Amino acid sequence: MIKYPDILHNIQLEINKVPDRGNVASYIPELSKIDPHKFGMHIIDANQNEFSVGDSEEAFSIQSISKVLSLSQAIGLIGEELWSRVDVEPSGDPFNHLSLLEQENGIPRNPLINAGAIVVADILVSKLKNPKEDFLTYIQEISGDKSINFDADVATSEKETGFRNYAAANLLKSYGNLHNDVDTVLDFYFHQCSLALNCKQLTKLFFVFMNRGKCLQNKTYLTTSQVKRINALMLTCGFYDEAGEFAFEVGLPGKSGVGGGIVALLPDNYCVATWSPGLNKKGNSKLGMLALEMLTTATKQSIF
């Protein structure tokens, strides 16, 4: 029997001792206002027992974590067809790099880097009647939480400074891999990234990937094969040019965001979310990664 409350308490004590918490993202001006001393962690196990420490009920911008959910909704809508427009290989590059996109004729390496997520956003804009509303409803239904919403200030802030994403979308368009207009797709993409959730809500949302496609309310959203693919992508691409390091240190499929959140899961076992806004040089939460390494070391459980 794993003593999660003791383990979480010890992790929090250790985290509080670390002097260098990393740097809060500033390229989206709204995110630079967040207090770097925040730290929260929440676990939900397969039997729906829950454990938490710190600021686990304070909402933050989930940013790139949303890419897993847009991918999941797009796979549900168009299935295997998606893989003709996005590849499934790790890029080994930072999340916003564009050089491979040009070398590889407008096919993004994977759906979790920005260019790949913009193609997925384009698919949702094509397939959904009211893209932003329908995506939000999807999130609210899977998590069972109708209070979840976009943060309009964060979306506007990113729109004003999202030059690289405009470059990515224009490059995709020039290769014929963006079917809608650049502004419409990016408006959707900036909103999906602005979703505000706390650690507790994130674990409830990602329960579906831990639980072979069935959400907390026991409704099936994805086949086991689709969940296998999404979890494989999180493991190999979820941390960009630090995916190897995350697998090496933590050993779980997971996804980070520049808001400082990380969500990770052990299939059939538990789902965990951390929030510490300071990022390392690769754009992943510095102390979130450390907390998760401590968790899998203490529990002696990982996928390996």
Phi, psi (degrees; rounded to nearest 5) at 204: -70, -35
The secondary structure element, H or E, covering residue 297 is helix 286-299
Q: What is the dihedral of CA 186, 283, 115, 142, to 10 degrees?
A: -70
The residue number with the shortest CB distance to ligand DON is 64
Asked whether residue 158 is marked as a ligand-binding residue, the answer is yes
Of 259, 252, 117, 250, give the one whose Cα is nearest residue 198. Answer: 259
Residue 7 or 264 having the CB closest to ligand DON: 264
| Single-letter amino acid code for the residue at 245 | E
Give the Cα separation of 174 and 280 in Å (integer). Answer: 33
Let me know: does 152 contact 194? Beta carbons within 8 Å. yes
Least CB distance to ligand DON at residue 59 (A): 16
Residues that bind ligand DON (CB under 6 A): 63-64, 95-96, 114, 158, 165, 193, 256-258, 283-284
* Cβ closest to ligand DON, residue 253 vs residue 283: 283
Tell me which residue of 172, 36, 12 sits closest to 100, measured CA to CA: 172
CA angle 63, 83, 196 (to 5 degrees): 15
CB distance 289 to 14 below 8 Å: no
Q: How far is the CB of 217 from ligand DON (least distance, A)?
A: 28
- Closest to ligand DON by CB, 62 vs 148, is 62
* Residue 221 marked ligand-binding: no
Nearest approach, Cβ of residue 52 and ligand DON (Å): 23
Q: Give the nearer residue to ligand DON in terms of CB position, either 45 or 158.
A: 158
Residue 270 in marked binding region: no
Q: Please, which residue, 8 or 41, has the CB nearer to ligand DON? A: 41
189 assigned binding-site residue? yes
Which residues, 6 or more positions from 158, have their beta carbon under 8 angstroms from its beta carbon? 28, 30, 165, 190, 193, 194
Give the residue among 81, 164, 90, 156 at the shortest CA–CA distance from 120.
81
Residue 202 to residues 72, 83, 162, 244: CA-CA distances in angstroms?
Answer: 15, 26, 25, 23
Read off the tokens for 107: 């096919």
- Select 118 or 215, whichever has its Cβ closest to ligand DON: 118
CB 218 to ligand DON: min, Å: 31
Query: Which is nearer to ligand DON, 8 or 139 (by Cβ)?
Result: 139
114 is in an annotated binding site: yes
Binding-site members for substrate are 64, 114, 158, 165, 189, 240, 258
